[in-house]
Structure 1
Amino acid sequence: MDTFASLKRRTTDLLSSLPQSLPAMAAHLPSLNQPHVLRGTWERISSVPALPRTSHSLDVVAGTAYIFGGEAANPREPVDNSVHAVTLPSGSAGADYYAVPARMDEVPLSPVVTKDQAGKGEELELELGDVPAARVGHASAVIGSRIFVFGGRGGKEMSEVLEERGRVWVFDTKTHLWSYLDPAVAALGPSGPDGEGKGWPRGRSYHAAVGVEKPDQFGERSGGKGKHPGGAGAGGKPLSRAETWREWAVGDSDEVGIPQRPIVGRIAAEAKDEDEEGFGTFIVHAGCLAGGERASDTWAFDVRSRVWQELPPAPGKGRGGTALCVSKSKLYRFGGFNGEGEEGGQLDVLDLVVDTFDDQVTGGSEATVTARGAWRSLVQYSGVEYTAEDATAPLAETASPADAWPGARSVASLEALNVGGGREYLVLMLGERDPSGAGHAAAGKFWDDVWVFQVPPQGNTAASLHDAVLHAVGKKSGEGKWTKVETGPYDDEDDASAEGPGPRGWIASAPMGELEENGIVVWGGLNGENKRLGDGWIFRLG
């Protein structure tokens, strides 16, 4: 007989497959007369072995959580450089686990850098190797079906910041093979004693990273095809005006056939792997540098051109352990540790845009993600007057004394979730609230709470219509406000999930994506007893 949890998942899958309507949004859209109360549930992932981890990374692709790096049961004790995969529960199927040893892809993503080109090409290749070394405090993000990894600490005791001259490691979840992307030769410049170059960010640890699937539209270059050639027909061929009515009617059916009788071999020959073509942007922010300095810089790596671009630095002190996420075209940051205490009371935002320009060299158009203006900040009410010249100028108005705010924290989770109907939230959970006086050798104090921040809804959706109605009758929609989430077990009969994951920090998390759009996976972490935890949890909003 199926368990309650599996039956509940089946029911959830069935309901989520139904067309969305305004009545279906009642759980996520507040009524006009009642206060907005958000609820969430916790479910412990069962039937998989414990994987104690801190300072690790976790990414979800196609229903599987990929865990890489970090410390094991003891501090400064690194795990191997294998990728540990957990197939997440779905429907009546439970979770499963397997390990993927580190192996290199036979076809490198980056061309081999010669000694004549970079001056130190041979030494660089020998030093960094073909697969990433074991590491802690690195950052990762997903673009397409690949996981991008940058930075971290290595060495015998995991105390040395890895300086890899801007290299980005890439794990392909389809082939389970590693490759890497080095900055383009044109961006390589002389590096100082700490590895800093002109065209890439310095090595760092305990930074944050996000992936953006833009740009993904490219114009056709002379002598080659872009991934999505602008104004292109089948097979990436440029469109031209048909000379006769018959040519227009037949089109390319001679090459690819018709829907009822496709020419399969030709279609397969013309097919492209979008990941191999290269698209998207990998963004890293802040972290701890080699000399102990904490950074506040922001860098964007264009996957297709392999060029790093420095974006505006964030306001406030440099920090490590900050939380970062992307919602629509905005980059959000909360918290971190500045060397003296935990950061909080401020949500920082950077607007991202896709900049398209004509490339006069290759004869086509190019696109890149860049920042529009400087960072802006929504600041918790403090009774202080802010001016437009202030580095922490609020987005609109300073929050009022009645507004609830999450406490200051670092090494926490911040993810963007779409709960349906065009409604999006930023979900902040767990994290360290009071650091240990003994540093990395002991545990501090931790949060066990969950907060959501309501961002503007997507246009022409049930959520946008609902908010418009609220504004029309003089009611507040909750946009731009923090709300504490009331949590409980996903299954009322599941005693193991009744209390949730408990207070912890130094966790890794990722949204579940298409598997469950309102779900977030959390793995591992450190609790107040200085114990490294090996359990996994699923949080569901609503």
Structure 2
Amino acid sequence: MNTTFEKVGAVGGNKGGPFDDGVFDGVKKITVGKDWDCVSYIKIEYEKEKDGKFETREHGTIRGELQEFTVDYPNEYITSVGGSYEHVLSYGTVLIKSLRFKTSYGRTSPILGRTTLFRNPAGREFMLEGKNGGKLLGFHGRSGQALDAIGAHFFAVKSPLKHFNLQGGNGGSAWDDGAFDGVRKILVGRGGKFVSYVRFEYAKGRGMVPHAHGKRQEVPQEFVVDYPNEHITVVEGTIDGYLTSLRFKTSKGRTSPAFGNVVGRKFVFGEKDFKLVGFCGRSGDAIDALGAHFAPLPPPPPAPAPAPTPDPSTTKMGPLGGDKGKTFDDGVLNGVKKVTIGADEYSITYIKIEYENNGKVEIREHGTNRGELKEFSVAYPNEYITAVGGSYKHIFNYDTTLITSLYCTTSKGSTSPLFGELKGTEFEFKDENGGNLVGFHGRGGYAIDAIGVHFGPAPKSSTPTPPNKFSKVYITSGNEGIEEIKFYNVENGETKEVFLHGVKGKNLISTLVISNPPDECLVSVESWYNSYDVSQGIKFKTEKSGSDFFGYKFSEDVGKPFSLQVKDKKIIGVQKFHDSNLISPGTYFVLSRSSSPNKVEAIGGKGGETFDDGAFDHVRKVFVAKGDSGIAYVKFEYEKDGRRVTQEHGQKTSQETEVFEVGQDDDITSVKAYYEKLDASKTETITYLAFKTLKGVNSQPFGKTPVIVNEQTKLSLLEGGKITGFHGSSTDVLHSIGAYISTSPPTMLHGKWIQVEQNGKTPGPRCSHAIAMVGNKMYSFGGELKPNFHIDRDLYFFDFETRRWSLADPDGDVPELPCLGVCMVAIGTTLYVFGGRDGFRNYNGFYSYDTVKSEWKLITHVNNGPAPRSFHSMAADGNNIYIFGGVTTKERVNTLHAYNIVDKKWTELPNPGESCKGRGGAGLAVVQGKIWVVYGFIGEEVEDVHCFDPVESKWTKVETRGEKPWARSVFALAVVGKYIIISGGEIEMDVKAHLGPGSLTGGAFVLDTESLVWEKLEEGHSPRGWIASTSTSIDGKKGLLMYGGKAPTNGRYEDIYFYGIDSA
């Protein structure tokens, strides 16, 4: 798209060297350094339009406190750059003193740099903006020892675009999405009689870029365009103070419904032979005004080339489906080796076919690559596709008929997984003579509209499938469902054993005997599986008899049924799979679902010669030798198909080589590595390694543990599943290390991270604070912005309906001190706050806050009850509040106290003793009546877990296993059923203790308190520690809510994240 930019500024001083970053697609993150008098440094992370990669530019000198501002690009973008400048005596020149940014969401960054006592920008203020809220594309200015001046490049419209000016009022904040290739989808949401929310999904190349504006209130309605075959050519609307309605017309003559209320003054955007490519406007809680950018329509596509003349021996079937989209015909080739199919919630969106043709591979693609991609491969020419089936249906969101599902069947009787969802009219293409699929034809554009096939004769080199009959089946079941099935097959008169291995035969084993193969054969398999797609029960039927369910019997309340039975056909074989449990069993009787290990990027330096061992079945031994300046040598002993293979890297030294051996029924799941740039080296060197296994075994530490973790010395983790191989780089030392990690489908919890939108003014960044939920409101109390410097003693609450912060009324016995390291829980509508301290180590007592009466009450004075403390842990059940550990005026403690809200008394419960040392920053959870202490800090981070049973009045130190997280403290925690979820935290203390950031992580994990197994969850937020968190339920989903925290830069966050569980 032909666009340009306008150059604004620069403002500030005239010293320092000039710089101009030029123009990029947008800005993702800005880091600002401030010293006592000015902004000393700025680092900008840009997105590069052509390849979607990010580039950084830096100006000034890194020193002082670093502050970050991140936008949710491309959904959100910066629309203005403000700040202040002033003559600075210590430098003898005019410098930038502060910066502040505003985004298309109406969000304003904190003031980055110097402020007055009242937190206003220090110096003479300025504001740089593009016309109509254009997007920030780049910076220019002057810099040297500090940032002397700053200017900006903003998006602007250029011919041949036609710009339609804003229609509406002047309220809200201006925004301009810019110009794209077209529009794929529009969502319009109402708020009363006005349009309060719009979301535009723009086309950019083959991708999609979303932009949303306003406030989402009622459920939005959507209008989908068949891009690139269809474009919006007219936008109509009405204005009555605010935008009240929208309607769209397309190049195919379609007209959308009217979204909203058609009242007020009408406007029309449109130009003959032009298409809509972008919007601009103004918005706050509603859409105040709207404008648009149009570009020339593309020329009509050339008439499709005539389809290749089919071979007389081939058969052309179909197509079936809709009549829109562009016609395609791959013609007749030799056969199909692999198909890759994409599907979204509506239809099949994409198909990629790898054909074999005269000894070469040829690829054809149709539709638009989006949604979930799945593959199906055949061993052509010994196996070939003999049938293609699926379904098609009219999809109202697209106002057309689309293919909704596809599957393939092969000459060996196996069937692919079902791609998409079987809905609408079903079909199957199959040659009467068992022909070979040699080509596809149909229609496609934004999705697959119609599909047809060409069949040819079977390939000459294919071999007939020998009879393959089951004689015996062993089924192993456990707590999670069906764990393993072992088959004995009869092939050509010989009995052969085939394993479909999950967690190989450790629980209840059942046996099905097929008495007289091949005269008696399996004809059906029935099963049911839970919401995680793990098979819970399975039963078989032969031509003469049937079995009962092995595992659990079917329950409609918690599962979905599955049946595999084809009329006049028998099950003649299965394929091997590699998951830890059976998932939807049809997959395994017709296709294995094994996935390649993920290659995780190496951590460490960039120097040396790269190595890549590849992926194996297991890592059995690790050999490590130290050198004078770090890890000098590593050797890995792998296992593949029962054979041992070794790979070595680096250079052996005179120092002894140490060995870590992994148990035969165990695997490495995590690697901890320190690396630093040593004085004599041009790049970083790995100085320390440690390994952790599935059974919770920790290796001995290899190398030296650094005294400090800082810019020169860094700590990183490789984790997320079973490690099956390593890669990296080395010379005479090890510079970097990465891993191949095999991940399994999650078996405990399925969920998703979301960042919660905040409207209006926020309480500001903070850490070491506390939150609790009452109804749909999150309350926040205490915290710090700078190390050991308290903020205030105000109680704030965030309303999840309005997404706005408010200040709670401060009536009653308001806590005496502003405090950090405080804890808070909620029982019913009452908040309970205990402990915490100010910056001078004065401590608070025990308070309650009635959220209905808006009233504070002092329950226990600081000199009564449990000893005053901070950075302790707090949890609650229906009637009791529990306080564990923390840091008193003298030491870290391991005491456990309970306060009963009915009896209004404190009780000191039994002490856990030396096995659970005094600690701060631990996790405390009440799970099914028992109290759990998870990890914490005892002078170093620890990874022990303890459980107290109030009924037996007994402590137990429990041994956990699985994908166990490394030691950590000050992390987020929540309880969902029998599960404890943790996320983030500090994994290595800073040498400055609380004054520094330490080494922080963003990793999330869940512990099953019954099986004592850990499992890693997806990461959804940046690394952080000293986080405020709570268990809650939002929009019907239980999960972990967290707010703020300390950043790796030693700054503070003010964002809100929620990990919502789909089912638990």
Cα offset, 1:507, TM superposition: 0.4
Aligned residue identity for 2:1014: W
Counterpart residue number, 1:95: 803
Kindly indicate whether residue 768 of structure 2 is the aligned counterpart of residue 46 of structure 1: no
Kept in 2, the 8 Å contact 1:161–1:204? The answer is no
* Pairing 1:436–2:1007 present: no
* 1:492-522: CA deviation from partner (whole Å, max 9, x where unpaired): xxxxxxxx32100000011223753423211
CA offset digits 1:236-278 (Å, max 9, x no partner)? xxxxxxxxxxxxxxxxxxxxxxxxxxxxxxxxxxxxxxxxxxx
Counting only pairs closer than 5 Å after superposition, residues 162-201 of structure 1 correspond to structure 2 as: 162=843, 164=845, 168-182=846-860, 200-201=865-866
The answer to whether the 8 A contact 2:959-2:1012 is kept is: no
Of 9, 25, 33, the residue aligned with 2:582 is: 33
Provide the residue aligned with 2:888 in structure 1: 289
Q: Is the 8 A contact 1:102 1:131 kept in 2?
A: no
- The offset of 1:306, in angstroms, is 2.1
Give SS of 2:1059's match: strand
Matches within 5 A, 1:328-339: 328-339=928-939
CA distance in structure 2 between the aligned counterparts of 1:337 and 1:480, rounded to whole angstroms: 21
Per the alignment, residue 343 of structure 1 pairs with 942
For 1:322 and 1:407, the matched residues in 2 are separated by 14
Query: What SS does the aligned partner of 2:954 have?
Result: coil
Q: Match of 1:535, SS?
A: strand
Amino acid of the structure 2 residue aligned with 1:141: V
Deviations 1:313-336 (A, max 9, x none): 233221111111111201111111
Matched-pair contact (CA < 8 Å) for 1:142–1:210? no
Give how far 1:175 is off.
Answer: 1.9
Shift of 1:210: 0.8
| Counterparts of 2:780 and 2:535, CA distance in 1 | 37
Equivalent residue for 1:70?
783
C-alpha displacement at 1:151, in angstroms? 0.9
CA distance in 2, matches of 1:58, 1:163: 17
For 1:53 and 1:509, the matched residues in 2 are separated by: 13
Q: Distance in 2 between matches of 1:455 and 1:29?
A: 20
1:428/1:47 CA distance change after superposition, 3 Å: closer
Instruction: Please give the residue correspondences for 1:393-542 in structure 2 after superposition, counting only pairs within 5 Å.
Output: 399=961, 403-418=962-977, 424-456=978-1010, 479-487=1011-1019, 500-513=1020-1033, 515-542=1035-1062
Tell me what 1:138 maps to. 822
Aligned partner letter, 1:45: V
Give the alignment of 1:213-224 within 5 angstroms: 213=878
Kindly indicate whether the alpha-carbon contact (under 8 Å) linking 1:288 and 1:295 is maintained by their aligned counterparts in 2. yes
TM-score normalised to the size of structure 2? 0.30
* Structure 1 or 2: more strand by fraction: 2
Deviations 1:35-90 (A, max 9, x none): 55154322112133442111100001101100001112x223322211111112xx
Amino acid at match of 2:1047: N
1:160 aligns to 2:872 (yes or no): no
Match of 1:324 in 2: 924
Structure 1 counterpart of 2:782, one-letter code: G
CA-atom RMSD in angstroms: 2.8
**Which residue is 1:300 aligned to?**
898
For 1:427, what is the secondary structure of its paired residue?
A: strand
In the alignment, the residues of structure 2 paired with residue 376 and residue 412 of structure 1 have an alpha-carbon distance, to the nearest angstrom, of: 22
> 1 CA distance for matches of 2:789 and 2:1024?
19
Structure 2 vs 1, CA of residues 23 and 180 (structure 1 numbering), >3 Å: closer, same or farther?
farther
Amino acid at match of 1:415: A
| Contact 1:294/1:318 (8 A) holds in 2 | yes
Task: Letter of the 2:779 partner, please give it.
Answer: Y
Secondary structure at the counterpart of residue 994 of structure 2: helix
Rounded Cα–Cα distance in structure 1 between residues aligned with 2:1042 and 2:901: 27
Alpha-carbon offset, residue 431 of structure 1: 0.5
Q: Is the 8 A contact 2:822 2:837 kept in 1?
A: yes
Instruction: Verify the 8 A CA contact 1:103 1:131 in the aligned structure 2.
Output: no
Q: Deviations over 1:158-188 (max 9, x none)?
A: 2314164xxx2001111221112238xxxxx
SS of 1:440's equivalent? helix
- 2: CA distance, partners of 1:148 / 1:30: 44
Distance, in Å, in 2 between the alignment partners of 1:434 and 1:30 is 41
1:179 & 1:28 partners in 2: Cα distance? Answer: 50
Distance of aligned partners of 1:407 and 1:58 in 2 relative to their CA distance in 1, 3 Å threshold: same
Shift of 1:7: 10
AA partner of residue 416 (structure 1): V
Correspondent of 1:58 among 754, 771, 781 = 771
Residues 171, 7 of structure 1: CA spacing in aligned structure 2 closer, same or farther, 3 A cutoff? closer
The code of the aligned residue for 1:178 comes to W
- C-alpha contact (below 8 Å) 2:1037/2:1061 kept by paired residues: no
Is the 1:511–1:517 contact (alpha carbons within 8 Å) kept by the matching residues of 2?
Answer: no
Q: 1:484 to 1:522 in 2, by over 3 A?
A: same
Whether the 8 Å contact between 1:323 and 1:412 is mirrored in structure 2 is: yes
Q: For the residues of structure 1 that align with 2:529 and 2:816, how far apart are their CA atoms? A: 46
Residue of structure 2 in register with 1:80 after alignment: 792
When residues 321 and 307 of structure 1 are mapped into structure 2, their CA distance, relative to the original with a 3 A threshold, is same
The C-alpha deviation readout for 1:468-504, integer Å capped at 9, x for no partner, is xxxxxxxxxxx321111134xxxxxxxxxxxx32100
Task: State the match for 2:872 in structure 1.
Answer: 207
Cα distance change, pair 324–63 in 1 and its aligned pair in 2 (3 A): same
* 2:534 and 2:582 in contact (8 A); partners too: no
Give the Å deviation of 1:207: 0.2
1:364 corresponds to: none
Cα distance in 2 for residues equivalent to 1:179 and 1:450: 36
Q: Secondary structure at the residue paired with 1:343?
A: strand
Residue 231 of structure 1 is matched in structure 2 by none
Give the letter aligned to residue 294 of structure 1: R
Equivalent position SS for 1:175: coil
| Secondary structure in structure 2 of the residue aligned to 1:80 | coil
Query: How many Å separate the matches in 1 of 2:220 and 2:875?
Result: 31
* Mapped contact 1:161–1:205 kept (Cα < 8 A): no
Partner of 1:374: 954
Quote how far apart the aligned CAs of 1:430 are.
0.6
CA distance in 1, matches of 2:921, 2:973: 11
TM-score, with length taken from structure 1? 0.58
1:125 is aligned to none
Contact 1:350 1:375 in 2 (8 A): yes
**Identical residues among aligned pairs (%):** 25
Judging changes above 3 Å, is the alpha-carbon distance between structure 1 residues 442 and 8 closer, same or farther for their aligned structure 2 residues? farther
Matches within 5 A, 1:110-121: none
Q: Distance in 2 between matches of 1:10 and 1:510?
A: 30
Q: Assess if the C-alpha contact under 8 Å between 1:63 and 1:512 holds in 2.
A: no
**1:281/1:23 Cα in 2 relative to 1: closer, same or farther (>3 Å)?**
farther
Tell me, in whole angstroms, the C-alpha distance in 2 between the residues paired with 1:332 and 1:80.
31
**Secondary structure at 1:320 match in 2:** coil
Please list the CA deviations of residues 329-366 of structure 1 after superposition, one character each: whole Å capped at 9, or x if unmatched. 01111111112x1011x22111234xxxxxxxxxxxxx
Which residue identity is paired with 1:309? Answer: T
In structure 1, how many angstroms separate the alpha carbons of the residues matched to 2:1049 and 2:773? 29
Alpha carbons 1:207, 1:321 under 8 Å: kept: yes
Query: What 5-or-longer segments of structure 2 have no aligned partner?
Result: 1-187, 190-197, 200-211, 222-526, 537-580, 584-743
Letter in 2 for 1:405: K
Q: 2 CA distance for matches of 1:23 and 1:97?
A: 46
Q: CA deviation at 1:438?
A: 0.6
